[in-house]
Amino acid sequence: MQITDAHAHVFSDDEQRYPILASARQRPPGIGTVDHLQQQMASADVQRVVAIHTSMTYGFDNRFLTDTARENVPWMAGVCTLHPEDPESPSLLESLVRESNVRGMRSVPAGQPERHLDYSVEKHLDDPRVDALWTTAEKLGIAINVLIRLPLADELETMLQKHPELPVVLDHCMFAHGKDGLNGETLQKTLHLARYPNLHAKLTWLVAGSDQDHSFTDTPPLLRAVIDAYGPDRCVWGSDFPCEYYTPKVTYAEHVELFRQIPDVSDAELEAIFSTTPGRLWFGD
């Protein structure tokens, strides 16, 4: 199988060519670059990656993401993030898919500032301008990655009902946490949403969602519940690269190995989650 990392953020050291937001987190040179990503992939025998536009660094300026995705065919596919209230966003999405190896769009709620994302206040997902982008994605045959937290889950459900044929991926499963256990509200809502057959679960939070320092035994039961609810053909794994930022408790290779050790996960399930499902969603397998 071709192990595919469905969630990596990449950065450029050239801030003249690709300027960053004033609010962006300071990053040591070399961390999170494409070269660094390739080194980490090699350390874990990962063959393909889905690069997710880094909005907290570049806002809605997708140039680094699209240049990088275009330059690294066939082992990389790009997922852009467009401002839902920009009237040019639907046509821009069409051109990025056509010209820049963009194979998905990260959908964010309407009501965002002009240049950057604001995660501090929940906005509206079931907005006509968001819907226009979903309709464009459906026409283009690409997947939507939806980035929301629990308060917008009902609006996601509305959108899923309106677009039953559009592949949608729930980023980070709305940030479920191990401390909340199997009865936690976020996990239970994630499991509830499994009734929509076009929704997929992105399993990036084995470490990021854990409240433990080393053993990480609190999140595997939750991940197992999601796999059981969605089925491995609707689940994908992601590293949250660079791990130095997002999962500093483990290395990239350790993150892959920890996922392999989820209780009772079979080889067939791993092949679907690591390879077959992301291949279908983003690589045209």
Residue of 123, 134, 186 whose CA lies nearest to 160: 134
The residue type at 159:
M
Residues 273 and 64: their CA atoms lie apart, in Å, by 28
Spell out the residues 6+ positions from residue 65 whose beta carbon is closer than 8 angstroms to its own.
10, 51, 52, 53, 54, 58, 78, 79, 80, 102
pLDDT of residue 119: 57
Residues 187 and 64: their CA atoms lie apart, in Å, by 34
Q: Residue 284's CB: how many other CB atoms inside 10 A?
A: 10
Owner of token pair 């990480």:
216
Q: What are the residue ranges in the chain where pLDDT is below 70?
A: 113-122
pLDDT of residue 248: 93
Domains of the chain (ranges, CATH numbers): 4-282 (3.20.20.140)
State whether the Cα torsion 15-20-23-29 is positive or negative: negative
Provide the 3-class DSSP secondary structure of residue 65.
helix
- Identify the DSSP state of 209: T
Burial of 217 (0-12, 13-18, 19+ CB in 10 A): exposed
Cβ-contact 156, 125 below 8 angstroms:
yes
Residues 169 and 274: their CA atoms lie apart, in Å, by 15
Owner of token pair 């997902």:
125
- Identify the DSSP state of 196: S
Residues 218 and 241: their CA atoms lie apart, in Å, by 21
Cβ-contact 46, 20 below 8 angstroms:
no
Residues 218 and 223: their CA atoms lie apart, in Å, by 10
Provide the 3-class DSSP secondary structure of residue 111.
coil
Spell out the residues 6+ positions from residue 24 whose beta carbon is closer than 8 angstroms to its own.
56, 57, 58
Q: For residue 143, what are the β-bridge partners?
A: 104
Residue of 42, 33, 45 whose CA lies nearest to 8: 33
Torsion of CA 201, 202, 206, 208, to 10 degrees: -130
